[in-house]
Structure 1
Amino acid sequence: MAPSVRDGRVGNLPAEANAFVGRQTELAALSGLLRDCRLVTLTGPAGVGKSRLALRAAHAERGLFPAGVWLVELSELKNPDLLTNAVAQATRLVEQTLRPLLEAVCEHLAGGPVLLVLDTCEHVLDECARVVQELLANVPELHVLATSRQPLGVAGEHLMAVAPLPLGERDDAVALFAARAAAAVPSFELTDDNRAGVAAVCARLDGIPLALELAAVRLRGFPLHRLLEGLDSRFDLLVSPARPLLVRHQTLRTAIGWSHELCTPLERLLWARLSVFAGGWDVEAAEFVCHGGPVDAEEIMALLASLTDKSIVTREGEGAAVRYRMLDTVRSFGAEWLAALGEEGTVRRRHRDYYRWTARQGEAEWLGPGQRVWAERLTAEHANLRVALEECLASEDPESGLELAGSLWYFWFACGFAEEGRGYLERALCRASGTGPEYSLAVWAHRLVTVVPEDLEAAESVSAAYVWLAQERGLPVPALPLTGASLAVRGESARSALLYGPGSQGPGGGGGAEFYQLLALALQAYVMAGQGAFERCATVAEKLRADCAKRGELWMRAWGDFFVALSEIGLARPDEALHSVCEALSAKWRVHDRLGVAAVCDLLVVTQAARGDPVLAARLLGVGGRLWHTAGLPRLGAPEETVFRREYGRLLRAALGDAVFTQLVEEGHSLDEEAALRLALGEDPSDAKA
C-alpha cells in the first residue's frame, strides 16, 4: 500500500472509523506539546482512549510535520527484537540492507519535521525506550507521540495522563455513549427524558470509553433501564473508592465480561480461540484454527457475523479481502478464557500448522498467476506469520522452524522483508543440526536474503547452498551464474564472461527450483548487458519473459521486461523500450517489490532522456533517489555510483542548467510513492488516491 497523502502531507495514518467525540481540552494541550516537546507519552489504564486520542491528535497536527506522520501499531508485536523492523515497515523502509537496520531507519526519517506515533508500547517497553532514545538522538527533527500504560523512561519524555471522560449529563461520556448508541440503534436519540439514565450508565462505567462503547451496543437487545439494571448487579461488588485505579481496571473487565455473558456458548468458545491470532484473520484461517469439538467449521462464518454484531470482533474490507480483528483488550480477555479452558496449547499449535501450510502453498504457487495475491495475502498475515515462527522456534522440534522460515524465502526476498527473514533464519539454523532438506532450504534462503551483488564470496555461497539444496531434494544440480553477475556489477565484465560458465536450464520442479531456473536467465541477461551484448541480452530476456508468461508470473517477468528495455536502449531504440520499462514498473509495484521499482525507475530515466524529454527524466531522477532511499539498499550499492544516475545526472544537468535541473530533481523527490508511480507511467500525479 502506498503512503497516504492528504493536502500534500505524507504518512500512513488510517482514516478514523467513526466520529471522534470530546477530549477538546486534551487535544488543545497535545497541540502545544507536539510543538514544544520531542517525546510525548500518553499514559493511562486500558480502554481509557489513549490510542484514539493519539490518532486524532496526529491527524489534527499533520501540518506541523511535512516530512510525514507515521503510525506504528505495536499491540500485535510479540517479540521486542522486531520493534525496529516494525518501525521500518510502518514508515515504508524496505529491509534490503546489511547495515544495522536502526541506522537505516534514522537516515530514512531524516530530512524534515516528522512525527512517529508508537501505539501500545507497554508490552515492549524496554525496547521502545532504547529505540526511541536512539531515534531522537540521531534524527534532529523527529517528534515521537507514544501511548503506554507506563512511561517509557527516556530523558526529555513529557507525560500526559489520559483520564476517563467527564461524567456530567452534558459532558463527554454522555455524548460518546449517545453517539455510539445511535450508530448501533439508529432510532436512539438523546433526549431530556433519557439523559439522566444515560448519565447513570456512564457513571457505572466510570467514563471509560471502551466500556461505554461496548455497553452502547447492548441497546440492540436491552432497553436503557434494563441495561442500567444489568450493570448495577455486576458493579455493586467491585466499587472501592480507596482504590480508584483498580476500580477502572475492574470496570473495563466487568464491561467486557458482561459482553461475554451475553454471548452464546459457541460464541464464547470462538472468541477464546480467535485470541491466538495477531493483527487479524480471514474466514479460512478461522475455520481451520478454531473448529473442533462443538464448533463445526461450517458454523464459524455465522458465529463471526454474530460476534461482529456484538462489537467483539470488527470486520474490515469487502469481498475476498474481508478480514476480522479484535481490540487488544478484548483479545486478552479471550486469551485468559482460552487458558482457563485448557485449550491454549492445542489452538496455538493449530494456528502454527495453518501458517506452515500457508507458507508452503505460497512457495508452491509463487511463480504463477496468483503471485500478486500471495504477496498481498502474506503481507496481511505478517503478524500471524511471526506468531507461528515464534511457536516453531519455541517447540522441541527444530525442523519446524527451519521449514517455516525457509519456506518463506520468497516473502523475505521479493516482498521487502530480508532483514527480518535473516533474523528468523539465523535463529532457526542455530537450533538445528546441519543435515536434512529443511536445513539445506534454510541455509539457501538465508544466503539468498543476505547476498549483495558486490560481495563475490556471498554470491558464490548462494550458488553453493542451492547446489546442496538440489542434491537434498533429488533434483538435477544446476550451473548458476551468480559469480559472473557479481563480477559484472563490479565492472569486471570480461572476467564475468569467463566465470559465467555454460548455460543451464536449471532443475525442474516447483518452488525454489523453478525460481532458480528463471533467476539463471535473468542473471545471464544481466551479464550480457554488462558486456554490451544487447542482441544476445534481448534474446535471453525474451526467453525469460516467455517462461514467466507460461506460469502467469509477475516478479521475475518484470526483470525480463527490464532487460528487454535495457537492450532496446543499448540498440538506440528508446521508443520501443518505453513499453517494456513501464510494464516492468507496473508489475514490480503490484507485487510490492519497492527495490525493483527503484531499479526500474532508474532505467526509465535513461529511456525518457533518450526519447528527448529531459524535464521528465530529471523529475524521475528525483523520484528514483527517493525510492532508493526508501528501499534502504541504494541501487544494489550506492546510488551516486551507478552508471545510470551518475552519467545521466551529469548529462541532464548540462542540458537543463544547474538551477532548473536541481528544481526538477527536488520536485520528483518530493512526490509520494503513488504519485511518483503515476508520473513514471505518464499519468497525472495529482490523481493519486489520498
Structure 2
Amino acid sequence: MGTSVRSSGNGNLPAESNTFVGREPELARISALLGSSRLLTLTGPGGVGKSRLALRAAHAAQPEFPGGVWLVELSDLQNPDLLTNAVAEATRLAEQTLRPLLTAVCEHLDNGPVLLVLDTCEHVLDECARVVHELLAQVPQLRVLATSRQSLGVAGEHLLPVTPLPVGEHSDAVTLFTARAAAAVPSFALTDATRADVAAICTRLDGIPLALELAAVRLRGFPLDRLLQGLDSRFDLLVSPARPRLARHQTLRTAIGWSHELCTPLERLLWARLSVFAGGWDVEAAEFVCHGGPLDPEEILALLASLTEKSIVTRESSGVAGRYRMLDTIRTFGADWLEGLGEQDAVRVRHLDYFRWIARQGEAEWLGPGQRMWAERLSLEHANLRVALEESLAAPDPGTALELTGTLWYFWFACGFADEGRGYLERALRQVPDDASGHTLAIWAHRLVTVVPEDVEAAESVSAAYVWLAQERRLPVPALPLTGASLAVRGESARSALLYGSSAQAPGVGGGAEFFQLLTLAVQAYLLAGQGAFERCAVVAERLRVDCATRGELWMRAWGDFFVALAGIGLGRPQDALRSARRALAAKWRVHDRFGAAAVADLLIAAEAVGGEPERAARLLGVGTRLWYSAGLPQFGDTETTVFRREYARRLRADLGDSAFTEAVREGRGLSAEAAIRLALDGLPDEADL
C-alpha cells in the first residue's frame, strides 16, 4: 500500500525521549491500582516527575486496554471550557456534531477497555472533575490516570503521591543524574572519585528529577566540583539561618533560577518572550514574536540552539521545520520574568498578530497545493491559535476576535473542529454590533459550522449568509443548492430536483468564494446521483475534480472522487468506483476530515459488494460504524438510521449468513480508526497517483 496513513497503535502515546530511571515501586503500585480503581491521580509538586511516570505507566498498561490508551496534555489549555474539546482532539474525535460534545466523547470511548491519561490538571481542576465524573459514569470500561498538584475531588478517586527520587551514593537520583550527564558530556562517567560529589549534588537538589536534569546539563561548562560549589553558594544565599533546608518547590525554583543566571542576557530575554507560546513554536514564529529591542531576528536561531543545549528549550523534530517547546515549569518561570520586565502585553500582541497572519495565509492558500500542509500546520498550532483567540476576545476592541474567528472558517469546518469554532464565533458575535467589520464573514462561518446534513433550515441559512458575504465583498453570487442537498439526505429526491439549479460561476477570488464555487459543483453532483442521473453526475463530478486538480486542492477534490465513485457504482463499474473511492478516503484522512472519511467508507461498502466481495464489504460496514463514531456522528453508523446502511446490511447478511456477517462486522468495528483506514485503503496505488 502506497499511502502515507500512519499507525500509532490504538492510542496516541508519544515515544519516550530518553531512558527512564527507577520508580519500580510506583510503577507496580500504579499497575495494581489501575486494575482496582477507575480513577487514579498522581499528585506532587512541579518537576517531581508525575508526567513522565504517568507516560511510562501508560506504555506498560497498553496490553490491558485494547480500546486504546490516550494521552490528553492539558498544560497549554487556558480556557477550561475547552477541556472536552481537548479530550476529543486527543482521542481523534471530530467535532462535527450539534449534540453535546461530551456525549459524543463518551460514545467514542465506549469501545472496550480504555485508559485516558489527563496530564497537568491543576489549572483546570473544576472542569476536569466535572468531565471525569461524567466520563466514568457513561463509559463503564474506562479508567482515568491523572496528574495534578492536587486531587480532582471526584468520588472514588485514588491518590498516589509522587515524591522525589531517593538520594545517596547508590540511589536512583545518582543514576538519573549520571545518565543525563553522560548524554550532555559523553566523556562523563561515575567513578569512585566522583560518586560522592554526584551524591552531594543530588542531595542538594532534594532528588527532584527536573532539577537534576538541569544541573546535569551544566557539566558542559563546569567540571563536577565547580558545579557542586556553584550550587552550594547559590543555595546559601537563599537559605535563612532559621530554615536550614529548602522546601522542595523552592529547591526547584532555585535550580531553575540558577540555570537562568548562567544564561546570557539575550538568552534570558528570549526565554521570557518564548513563554507566550503554547504547544511549541517554529523558528519563523519565534523570530516574529520575540524580536525587538536588543534582540534581532537574525540572532534568534543561534539563541534557540544555545537554550536547547542548556535544556531550557527542547527541539522536537529534525529538519528545517523543527519545532521547539519548554516544560511547563520552565515556561512559567519565563512568564514571571516577562511580567517583571513589563513586556507581557507587547509580546502577546505580537503573538496575536503573527497567528492572525497565519490564519489569513491559510485561508488564502486553503484551496491550493498547500492544503494538506495547512491542515497539518494549523493542527500543530492549535494551542497557539487558542491563545490568540482568547487574547483577541479579551482585548478592548473585539473586532480582531471577529475577524480571526471568521477567517478560520476552513479550519473549523474542514478539519473537524466545528464545535470549538461555534463556541468562539458565538463569543465574538456577542461582543460586537451587527455593523462591525467582519460581522458578515463571522455569521457565514458560524452557520457553516452549524449546518448538519439532515437540517434543511440550517442549510438555507448558510446559503443566505453566503449571499450576504458575496454582496458585501461585491462578488457575483453563485447558485448554492444546499437546501436541495439536505432534502436529498432525507430521501426527498423529487423536491431536491427542483432546487439544484445551474452551477453559475463564482469568482476565483478569496478562499470563501472559491470554496463556494466548488461546493456548488459538489452539491449538484450529489443531487444528480440522488435522482439516478449517474452519467450527468459523473460529468459534473469530473469537472469538480479537474477544477480542484488545477488548484492542487485535496479536500474538495476528494468529494469529486466520491461522486465519480458513486456514479461508477450506479453505472455498474465497481472497479473504477473502488479506485476513486479509495483516493477520496486517503485525501480526506490526510486533511483530517473525519466526516468525509466516514462518508467515503460507506461508499466503499457498496463498491465492494457490487464488485463481488461481500465479506470485505461486511467488514467495511463495521469500519464505517467505527469512523462515524470518530466523526462524532454515531447515529450515521447505525444500520437502522440510514436507508443505505440498512439496505446493505440486509443484502450482506443474506449473502454471507448471520454468523459470518456478524463476525465480519464485529471485526471491522473493533479496529482503531487508523487500522480501519488501512483496511479500507488496501490496494491503493502509490501516493503519487493521488
Give the alignment of 1:83-162 within 5 angstroms: 83-162=83-162
Does 2:671 correspond to 1:651?
no
SS in structure 1 at match of 2:281: coil
Would you say the 8 A contact 1:437–1:472 is kept in 2? no
SS at match of 1:500: coil
2:123 is paired with a residue of what secondary structure? helix
- Write out aligned runs for 1:194-343 (5 A): 194-239=194-239, 247-343=247-343
Aligned counterpart, 2:461: 461
Give secondary structure in 2 for the equivalent of 1:319.
coil
Contact 2:478 2:503 in 1 (8 A): no
Q: Any idea what SS the aligned residue of 2:116 has?
A: strand
1:616 — aligned with what? 616
Secondary structure (helix, strand or coil) at the match of 1:499 reads coil
- CA deviation vs aligned residue, 1:550-581 (integer Å, no higher than 9, x gap): 11100000000100110011011112212211
Change (3 A) 1:167 1:525: same
How many angstroms apart in 1 are the aligned matches of 2:462 and 2:241? Answer: 66
Identify which range, 555-564 or 246-255, moves more after superposition.
Answer: 246-255
Structure 2 counterpart of 1:400, one-letter code:
T
1 or 2 for the larger relative contact order (CA 8 Å, sep ≥6)?
A: 2
Aligned residues: 681
| Shift, 1:508, TM fit | 3.5
Matching residue's letter, 1:185: V
Q: Partner of 1:193: helix, strand, or coil?
A: coil
Where in structure 2 are the equivalents of 1:531-680 lying within 5 Å? 531-634=531-634, 640-680=640-680
Distance 1:241 1:184 in 2: 35
SS in 2 for 1:524: helix
SS in 2 for 1:42: strand
Cα displacement (A) at 1:676 = 2.2
Alpha-carbon distance in structure 2 between the residues aligned to 1:309 and 1:465: 53
User: 2:651 and 2:431 mapped to 1: Cα distance?
Assistant: 54
Instruction: For residue 477 of structure 1, report the CA deviation from its aligned partner.
Output: 2.1
Shift in Å, 1:146: 0.6
The answer to whether the 8 A contact 1:164-1:206 is kept is yes
Task: Look up the match of 1:27.
Answer: 27
| Distance in structure 2 (CA, Å) of the matches to 1:185 and 1:84 | 43
Runs of 4+ with deviation above 4 angstroms: 1-6, 239-246, 635-639
Kindly provide the amino acid, as one letter, of the partner of residue 52 in structure 1: R
How many Å separate the matches in 2 of 1:610 and 1:4?
A: 29
Q: Kindly indicate whether the alpha-carbon contact (under 8 Å) linking 1:117 and 1:144 is maintained by their aligned counterparts in 2.
A: yes
Q: State the alpha-carbon separation in 2 of the partners of residues 683 and 25 from structure 1.
A: 48
Q: CA shift at 1:637, angstroms?
A: 8.3
Q: 1:178 to 1:655 in 2, by over 3 A?
A: same
TM-score, normalization by structure 1: 0.96
Deviation at 1:322, TM superposition (A): 0.9
Map of 1:477 onto structure 2: 477
1:405 aligns with 2:405: yes
Q: Which moved more, 1:498-507 or 1:475-484?
A: 498-507
State how far apart, in whole Å, the 2-side matches of 1:381 and 1:243 are.
45
Residue 424, structure 1, aligned to residue 404, structure 2: no
Equivalent in the alignment of 1:164: 164
**Structure 1 residue 5: deviation in Å?**
4.7
The residue that corresponds to 1:687 in the other structure is none
8 Å Cα contact 1:238/1:247 also seen in 2? no
Q: Percent identity, aligned pairs only?
A: 77
Secondary structure at 2:315's aligned position in 1?
Answer: strand
* Other structure's SS at 1:374 match: helix
1:504-559 CA deviation, whole Å, 9 max, x = no partner? 21244111010000000000111111111111111111111111111110000000
**Residues in 1 aligned to 2:43 and 2:583: alpha-carbon distance in whole angstroms:** 49
Q: Structure 1 counterpart of 2:378, which letter?
A: L
1:632 corresponds to which letter in structure 2? Answer: G
C-alpha offsets along residues 110-141 of structure 1, whole Å, 9 cap, x if unaligned?
13211111000000011111111111111111
- Per-residue deviation at 1:270? 0.5
The DSSP-based 3-state class of the residue aligned with 1:41 is: strand
Q: CA distance change for structure 1 residues 197 and 246 in 2, over 3 Å: closer, same or farther? A: closer
Of 560-569 and 317-326, more deviation after overlay is shown by 317-326
Matched residue SS, 2:470? helix
Deviation at 1:592, TM superposition (A): 1.2
Pairwise CA RMSD of aligned residues?
1.7
2:15 is matched with which residue?
15
**Amino acid of the structure 1 residue aligned with 2:150:** Q
- Quote how far apart the aligned CAs of 1:263 are: 0.9
Distance 1:495 1:332 in 2: 60
| Contact kept in structure 1, 2:5 and 2:678, CA below 8 Å | no
Determine the structure 2 residue equivalent to 1:81: 81
Looking at structure 2, the residues matched to 156 and 516 of structure 1 have their Cα atoms a distance apart, in angstroms, of 51
Q: What displacement does 1:321 show?
A: 3.6
* Counterpart secondary structure, 1:145: strand
Shift of 1:100: 0.4
| TM-score calculated relative to the size of structure 2 | 0.96
Cα separation, partners in 2 of 1:64 and 1:242, compared to 1, 3 Å: farther
Residue 379 of structure 2 aligns with which residue?
A: 379
Change (3 A) 1:134 1:472: same
Contact 1:459 1:486 in 2 (8 A): yes
SS at match of 1:60: helix
**Structure 2 letter corresponding to 1:258:** W
> Equivalents in 2 of 1:31, 1:629: separation in Å?
29
1:64-79 equivalences in 2 (<5 Å) = 64-79=64-79
Give the structure 1 partner of residue 351 of structure 2: 351
Task: Give the conservation status (yes or no) of the 8 Å contact 2:43–2:161.
Answer: yes
Give the equivalent residue in structure 2 for 1:395: 395
**Helix, strand or coil at the partner of 1:561:** helix
Measured in 1, the distance between the counterparts of 2:677 and 2:209 equals 41
User: Structure 2 vs 1, CA of residues 241 and 162 (structure 1 numbering), >3 Å: closer, same or farther?
Assistant: farther
- Larger deviation: 276-285 or 23-32? 23-32
Q: Which amino acid aligns with 1:172?
A: D
Alpha-carbon deviation of 1:450? 0.4
CA distance in 1, matches of 2:427, 2:640: 35
SS of aligned partner of 2:364: helix
Distance 2:594 2:499 in 1: 30
Distance 1:243 1:664, change over 3 A: farther
8 Å contact from structure 2 (residues 478, 520) kept in 1 = no
Deviations 1:388-426 (A, max 9, x none): 000010011121011000000000000000000000000
| Equivalent-residue separation in structure 2 for 1:241 and 1:142 (angstroms) | 51
| Structure 1 residue 149, shift from structure 2 partner | 0.5
Partners of 1:444 and 1:469 within 8 A in 2: yes
1:187 aligns with 2:187: yes
Unpaired segments ≥5 residues, structure 1: 685-690
- Cα deviation for residue 642 of structure 1 reads 2.4
Q: 1:427–1:244: structure 2 CA closer, same or farther, 3 Å change rule? A: farther
Q: 1:637 to 1:498 in 2, by over 3 A?
A: farther
Q: Deviations over 1:171-207 (max 9, x none)?
A: 1111110111111111111111111100000011010
